């Protein structure tokens, strides 16, 4: 065989090998395309009544957002309070892995995780924007992760109800004496402050508030603000609507994720869960600012009596809030580090707000 024939044979062989390779690559691609993507199914348990405005609907929208962003690769089915687990057992369900996700607010789990209260709402504390900034840029999220880590739960902010109201009362509060013996539903650190001033506090899920107030099982309750309070019809069960919401100047709503379930996700789905929760925070803030304003006008038209807590009472509540917070911080090193971090940012943020938003609200 001469050189020319040898060269031609070699080229033909190379071409044949390449053609076979291309066919194999094409076949592999077609097989991959034909193979359906794995679909992961999660359950989300919540602390809210089904489709309850703002809270329940936010959980539904979060699930829908995850489904859409993942193109259906991760689907989340939402269960309202009581459908799979009771409202106040959501944290336990996620910790055990009964559900991969939960939707509630951190102070509901204070019996199991006392430090969780710092990540929900602190009396006379950070505003909504300030809380979001502390969590995302001030080290708050890392401290929150550390708090929930022993329980196998990953916390994510997934909403905020913005500043709340002081609550609904069937008894007037004109002085500190009126607090003694008052039966009030108020969870979290605010409830501890009421207790220190002589009230009897209880923690009830939202679905039990109206009946308890109407039947005088309690004399007063906080819930959220005009938007949610109107939806529950609380104005039909109590005479007076007090402000300001000193106990909850904002209130974080969280999405809890079972850590093992989260770790099992591919990186892109992990990012989708995190960013969907982040988007849900802004969505809920907008929802509450808009609908609180409208609901307030509705309550006024219903003849609701709005009352401001007396300065004497607010001053005492502020003093007792400091006592409660310092006592919680002193319980262990983690609590102390959380409160030190949040308090330091509160001082910095207050100086800025005094020059900006406070002045605007005073003048507009």
Binding residues: 164, 185, 222-223, 248
Binding residues for Na(+), by number, are 223
Taking residue 75's Cβ as centre, other Cβ atoms within 10 Å add up to 14
Name, in order, each residue with C-beta under 8 angstroms of 255's C-beta and a sequence gap of 6 or more.
44, 62, 101, 102, 103, 155, 156, 157, 158, 277, 280
Nearest to 174 by CA among 320, 321, 308: 308
End-to-end CA distance of the chain: 98
Q: Which residues contact 330 (CB under 8 A, 6 or more apart)?
A: 336
Known binding-site positions for substrate: 164, 185, 222, 248
156 membership: H or E segment, kind and range: strand 153-160
Q: State the chain's maximal CA–CA distance in angstroms.
A: 115
Contacts 24+ apart (CB under 8 A), 320-323: 320/193, 320/196, 320/197, 321/122, 321/123, 321/124, 321/189, 321/193, 321/246, 323/196
Note the helical H segments in the chain.
Answer: 3-34, 56-69, 90-96, 128-137, 140-148, 188-196, 209-214, 226-232, 259-263, 267-301, 311-329, 333-355, 357-363
Q: Are 164 and 251 in contact (CB under 8 A)?
A: yes
């Amino acid at each position: 065989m001469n050189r020319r024939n040898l060269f031609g044979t070699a080229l033909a062989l190379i071409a044949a090998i390449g053609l076979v390779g291309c066919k194999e690559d094409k076949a592999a691609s077609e097989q991959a395309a034909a193979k359906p993507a794995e679909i992961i199914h999660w359950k989300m348990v919540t602390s809210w009544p089904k489709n309850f405005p703002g809270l329940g609907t936010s959980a539904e929208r979060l699930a829908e957002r995850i489904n859409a962003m993942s193109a259906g690769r991760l689907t989340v089915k939402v269960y309202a309070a009581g459908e799979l687990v009771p409202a106040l057992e959501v944290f336990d369900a996620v910790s055990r892995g009964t559900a991969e996700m939960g939707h509630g607010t951190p102070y509901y789990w204070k019996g199991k995780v006392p430090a969780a209260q710092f990540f929900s709402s602190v009396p006379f504390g950070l505003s909504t924007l300030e809380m979001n900034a502390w969590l995302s840029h001030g080290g708050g999220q890392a401290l929150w992760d550390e708090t929930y880590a022993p329980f196998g739960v990953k916390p994510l902010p997934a909403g905020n109800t913005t500043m709340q109201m002081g609550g609904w009362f069937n008894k007037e509060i004109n002085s500190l004496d009126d607090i003694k013996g008052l039966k009030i539903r108020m969870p979290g650190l605010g409830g501890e402050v009421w207790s220190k001033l002589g009230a009897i506090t209880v923690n009830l899920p939202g679905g039990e508030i109206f009946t308890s107030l109407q039947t005088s099982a309690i004399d007063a309750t906080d819930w959220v603000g005009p938007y949610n309070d109107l939806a529950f019809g609380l104005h039909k069960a109590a005479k007076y609507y007090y402000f300001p919401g000193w106990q909850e100047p904002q209130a974080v709503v969280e999405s809890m994720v079972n850590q093992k379930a989260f770790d099992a996700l591919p990186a892109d789905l992990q990012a989708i869960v995190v960013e969907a929760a982040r988007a849900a925070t802004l969505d809920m803030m907008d929802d509450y600012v808009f609908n609180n304003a409208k609901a307030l006008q509705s309550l006024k038209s219903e003849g609701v009596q709005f009352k401001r807590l007396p300065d004497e009472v607010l001053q005492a509540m502020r003093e007792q809030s400091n006592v409660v917070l310092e006592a919680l911080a002193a319980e262990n090193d983690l609590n102390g580090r959380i409160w030190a971090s949040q308090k330091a940012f509160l001082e910095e943020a207050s100086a800025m707000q005094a020059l900006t938003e406070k002045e605007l609200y005073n003048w507009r």
